[in-house]
Structure 1
């Protein structure tokens, strides 16, 4: 190939989208090698001698009853079956084994409100990377993984399976919705998109599953809380709350210029009414999530758009266990 033809080919080849603005299947595939050093299980089994007296916010898999046998030195007295012991006159303990697989469901937010980022990545990209990390970790731990990927106009359910190809199917759906994000492209309400999400969740998520909800929380309301209440009755739920530093700091800014690539608008942080309204929106979204989490003992992992997703996830899960 001559230099002239190379230049011509390079000029006509479509440019790759900025990876900080739009994710790609290749980048989400690469998350497989970063899905280490974290899990969604407590450090000790429930019947371990080293287990504490307090309930963990991150519960483990269920326990299956295996057998009844005579007590041996070193057995945990909490597993003693006192009825059998009284009837036989000899101490007996129940032996349980931990379930080796479960369903993990990812509820991944790709609405227009996630198409925001001030310095590094968009919230939508961080959400996609978090979903990829958790999906790869789940299948690596012999769990089945499913998903509901939703945007402003709909929610796509994907039934749980355990295979690398199935993870790629989930990631491809996330990429498809991620690339539909445009400034001003939303046609539906935030409440409407939540309703479609919960409609699919009611059909897909049954019981004894781990449900991980990756979102920024906007559009959350009292009806959403009722849906979460139902979801928490028979499942473990974890919130991954994604936010951008500018969302917390914007009310403190002086003058700021915002652009969608074509038009610009200048906003002043000195406008008291604007500052108060924006601060209320941000605070309301965070407080509603936090209040619901506290009420139903749902762990909240706080994540941002600046630090790499894998580092944040490890750190957040570690802090959650220590809380």
Structure 2
């Protein structure tokens, strides 16, 4: 068991052999993820963003130091570099003042990818788990190409793989292998387990990325609570945090008149959406979770990237980042 856990953390756990008939909209393979590298080149996760990018104005590095970009003028504090003193302001006010600048430095990135059973759903094109995996791979390739360190956390219902950020292909390959392994384990006949909570994963994020990281979380944010919000709030204060909210249109606009059979692998129940009260309750529950995540953007000032499993992944990311679809 310990050996298995160690191999999961390092991304060396052998995954199921891919079937030649495997549908890439349902499961992804390591080869499929590697093939995305060339398509990621125009994406950017640097502070300077295209004008129409959803990250524009929100994703600037907050690392402090002497540089070209003036940030603020404040009172001198013991320990400040005397070379940063603004002598004109000091003479005018009679108290020492220093100029504080921001500078662009190497920034490690942690990509957090949800591969729980709640992500194993799709009604139009991809499973949500596939969309999240593709978005994670595209981001990882581009970040390493920017010469930044990249790592990640991949979590399923009962396991977590941690790859600490490094500036080399080995760490990237470990991350992609862990992602492919976790995705291949998603099956309709998988035994039911109590899924790992997003809150537990975010505690691991806070441990690995205490400050000055870029943290990208790709999930449907199933089962969130007040502690989840507190952890997200804390991460956003100490890091550059981006939330990728992966959805499927079925949850947002559930058709009426359907008879659905849902199961946890042991028990099953039939849901009749022709019952208007039941249909409204299900729709409101799904929309309420989406609205709560989008409200975090307003309350915390963090960007939320809405990714739909009903569309191809790369065109969505390009559009959200203000790039042409070509």
Measured against the shorter chain, the TM-score band is: 0.7 to 0.9
| Match among 215, 221, 225 for residue 217 of structure 1 | 221
Tell me the equivalent position of 1:20: 25
Q: Alpha carbons of 1:302 and 1:221: their partners in 2 closer, same or farther (altered >3 Å)?
A: same
Tell me the equivalent position of 1:106: 111
Tell me the equivalent position of 2:280: 276
Distance in 2 between residues matched to 1:225 and 1:87, nearest whole Å: 42
Are the equivalent residues in 2 in contact too, given 1:103–1:144 (CA < 8 A)? Answer: yes
Structure 1: gaps of 5 or more residues: 1-12, 68-74
TM-score of the pair, normalised by structure 2? 0.76
Distance in 2 between residues matched to 1:120 and 1:94, nearest whole Å: 52
| Match among 237, 241, 252 for residue 237 of structure 1 | 241
Tell me the equivalent position of 2:230: 226
Whether 2:135 is the aligned partner of 1:130: answer yes
TM-score of the pair, normalised by structure 1? 0.77
Tell me the equivalent position of 1:71: none
Tell me the equivalent position of 2:10: none
- 1:258 deviates by 6.2
Distance in 2 between residues matched to 1:265 and 1:18, nearest whole Å: 28
Distance in 1 between residues matched to 2:167 and 2:311, nearest whole Å: 29
**Quick check: 19-28 or 98-107, which moved more?**
98-107
- 1:231 deviates by 1.1
Tell me the equivalent position of 2:167: 162
Q: 1:27-176 maps to which residues of 2 (within 5 A)?
A: 27-43=32-48, 56-60=57-61, 62=63, 64-66=65-67, 83-85=86-88, 98-176=103-181
| Match among 240, 244, 248 for residue 252 of structure 2 | 248
| Match among 198, 204, 209 for residue 205 of structure 1 | 209
Q: What secondary structure does 1:116 align onto? A: coil
Q: Give aligned pairs, total.
A: 285
Q: What secondary structure does 2:42 align onto? A: coil
Q: What secondary structure does 1:158 align onto? A: strand
Whether 2:311 is the aligned partner of 1:298: answer no
Q: Which has the higher contact order (CA 8 A, sep 6+)?
A: 2
Structure 2: gaps of 5 or more residues: 1-17, 74-83, 93-97
- 1:254 deviates by 2.5
Larger C-alpha radius of gyration, 1 or 2? 1
- 1:298 deviates by 1.0
Tell me the equivalent position of 2:199: 195
- 1:31 deviates by 1.2
Distance in 2 between residues matched to 1:85 and 1:205, nearest whole Å: 39
More helix by share: 1
Q: Alpha carbons of 1:95 and 1:291: their partners in 2 closer, same or farther (altered >3 Å)?
A: closer
Are the equivalent residues in 2 in contact too, given 1:220–1:288 (CA < 8 A)? Answer: no
Q: Alpha carbons of 1:280 and 1:95: their partners in 2 closer, same or farther (altered >3 Å)?
A: closer
Distance in 2 between residues matched to 1:189 and 1:276, nearest whole Å: 27
Distance in 2 between residues matched to 1:210 and 1:24, nearest whole Å: 26
Q: Alpha carbons of 1:273 and 1:207: their partners in 2 closer, same or farther (altered >3 Å)?
A: same
Distance in 2 between residues matched to 1:123 and 1:29, nearest whole Å: 19
Are the equivalent residues in 1 in contact too, given 2:110–2:150 (CA < 8 A)? Answer: yes
Distance in 2 between residues matched to 1:303 and 1:145, nearest whole Å: 21
Tell me the equivalent position of 1:3: none
